[in-house]
Structure 1
């Protein structure tokens, strides 16, 4: 198969879809790999690094799309790429369709085969291709939240860990999934007091077992959310509904209950956000303020640490890329139930029910 690795062109996105190590494996399996010149530079990989393992370096993104049967990316195609995607071409990347009707319609119109990293699902319900980026984003949420709590950033002026004689900051984590666990771990490590809310009691019991005593758990409901947002300095949104829009757990009217300078880091922004006032931002302009509450809602948070993120991503995507390349998408998905759940749009038809429900479309059922 001919596989293309284009340079990411989303704002301040420095990750790349495949490391040179991953390209070497593909070439050793008899596949042709086209890498756009400069695609790996942001992650610390030169064109020579790719050439040495057998990749062909192409000058433009258009050439990569035109000459490739499968595109392996990091982020969803943006508007400039829509017309480059070809009928029957496999596009394997993070899509998060439920948050963008424009993207969904563009991929329907392209009649490509869109396989989303974030909906590949193992039999135990875990999301193996989303997990590493959720781990990165969860940890980064605390780093960024701590920074934006500083007064020059319009935050409350709170040091999360406190100092002797001064209590630590308070962090509220919505969701006890991968993002929430990693955020709580980082916040607890800094010495902050952490409250974690979730509706899954098994997850809360797990948190209670593995986290230190200054991480406390409560059942998530509107009453408890309204109670805690009054007293917490940093709020991390880590809620996920597989392939669907995130629920709005914090509404606009709740912002008036928060203290001025409270910081919200909504990691769920890729799925529309779990805060009503969330809107996607970029690393170039990452934050905005509503009702004196600082919002950090960067839609590609792991892109700020591209070396770590690219290695972590290739570690988990490469086996699936090899499977798709060796067998073709139809045979690969027929043989692998986890990969089959990654199919979102095929030949102009939505095949993932959560996307159809988000935009009132009909979904074709794959048998």
Structure 2
């Protein structure tokens, strides 16, 4: 199979979908890997490294799209790339379609088979989303602390405090992968950390593993009580494949102190605050109701080298399976991949995306036989 790797063109997106080592492994298996020139430069990978791995370098994205049967990207196609999509192409990348009706409609019209990293499942987990959630969670505390500085318009609170001065207060909405990584970073800095969560078993786990962080059942009353004293609020709520729930209304935000910071990690899925809107690394923040909002939709791109390595480590097995066996057999071997198919044959094939846009839902036309001896068994749901 021919696997294509275009250069990412989203603003300040420096990650690349395949590292040279992953390209090497695919070439060793007899596949053809076509890489757009300079696709890996932002992540520290030179053109020469891809050539040494056996990849073919081309100068135009159009050539990558034209030759590829399987197109592997990091972020969703941008408007300039829409005309390059075609019915016999398999697109494998982060899509976040529940928050983007326009892209959903473009993919439906193109006839492309669109597989979203963020909805591939393995034993109830989202293995292709987790490493980026880990990076975004850890990064949220770094950028939050940065924008709390007075010369950036913040309140001037140092999250860790100093002897004789209380530390800053961090509240994390959601105790999933992003939330727990945010809490660990904030705890490591010495901040006062509270995690709001609805899953009692998850709260028990957090209580045991995060020794100095507090857990609190997530509801509006508890959040309203916390907001007046919060310095850094981190939105890390995830509903797999669906639009993020709007937990923070504008009137609630007014309870926060001027100069406090909101980092909305959920912005890829629409954001968990009424006032959130997508931003870029070029212009990452804006102020609403006196609160600094950081809503960058591709946060891990800031640490492109680490993010690329973490991403390719988890995506490679699926890329290899699709290339070796084709999509139907790859789904048979890795049933969780079936949940990743969001668009196929001009139809919405993920229930959360269909619900978000009030579109008809059609299960992917791929049959998977349950096999209790397969490692991925049990992850496929109707």
Distance 2:75 2:178 in 1: 18
What is the TM-score when the length of structure 1 is the normalising length?
0.99
SS at match of 2:229: coil
**Which stretches of structure 1, 4 residues or longer, exceed 3 Å deviation after superposition?**
none
Unaligned segments of structure 1, at least 5 residues: none
SS at match of 1:257: coil
Alignment check: 8 A CA contact 1:246 1:268 kept:
yes
Residue of structure 2 in register with 1:30 after alignment: 30
Distance 1:309 1:5 in 2: 16
Residue of structure 1 in register with 2:226 after alignment: 228
SS at match of 2:355: helix
Alignment check: 8 A CA contact 1:88 1:347 kept:
no
Residue of structure 1 in register with 2:343 after alignment: 345
Residue of structure 1 in register with 2:136 after alignment: 137
SS at match of 1:8: coil
Distance 1:154 1:348 in 2: 47
Residue 308 of structure 2 corresponds to residue 307 of structure 1 = no
Deviation per CA, 1:202-257, whole angstroms, max 9, x where unpaired? 111111000122x1000000000111111110000000000000101110111111
What is the TM-score when the length of structure 2 is the normalising length?
0.95
Unaligned segments of structure 2, at least 5 residues: 368-382
Tell me how far 1:335 sits from its aligned partner. 3.1
The 5-angstrom pairing of residues 128-167 of structure 1 reads 128-167=127-166
Distance 1:229 1:66 in 2: 52
Tell me how far 1:330 sits from its aligned partner. 1.8
Compute the RMSD of aligned alpha carbons: 0.7
Residue of structure 2 in register with 1:218 after alignment: 216
Distance 2:362 2:171 in 1: 40
Deviation per CA, 1:31-78, whole angstroms, max 9, x where unpaired? 000000000000000000000010000001111001111100100001
Deviation per CA, 1:117-168, whole angstroms, max 9, x where unpaired? 0000012x11000000000000000000000101111111100000111100
Deviation per CA, 1:315-344, whole angstroms, max 9, x where unpaired? 000001000100111221133211111110
Residue 86 of structure 2 corresponds to residue 93 of structure 1 = no
Alignment check: 8 A CA contact 1:175 1:198 kept:
yes
Distance 2:162 2:211 in 1: 19
The 5-angstrom pairing of residues 171-186 of structure 1 reads 171-186=170-185
Residue 331 of structure 2 corresponds to residue 333 of structure 1 = yes
Alignment check: 8 A CA contact 1:23 1:55 kept:
yes
Deviation per CA, 1:67-119, whole angstroms, max 9, x where unpaired? 11110010000111111111120000000000100010011111001000000
Distance 2:12 2:23 in 1: 24
Residue of structure 1 in register with 2:373 after alignment: none
Distance 2:49 2:205 in 1: 43
**Aligned mate of 1:363, from 343, 352, 361:** 361
The 5-angstrom pairing of residues 258-297 of structure 1 reads 258-297=256-295
How many corresponding residue pairs? 365
SS at match of 2:183: helix
SS at match of 1:109: helix
Distance 2:315 2:181 in 1: 21
Distance 1:108 1:333 in 2: 21
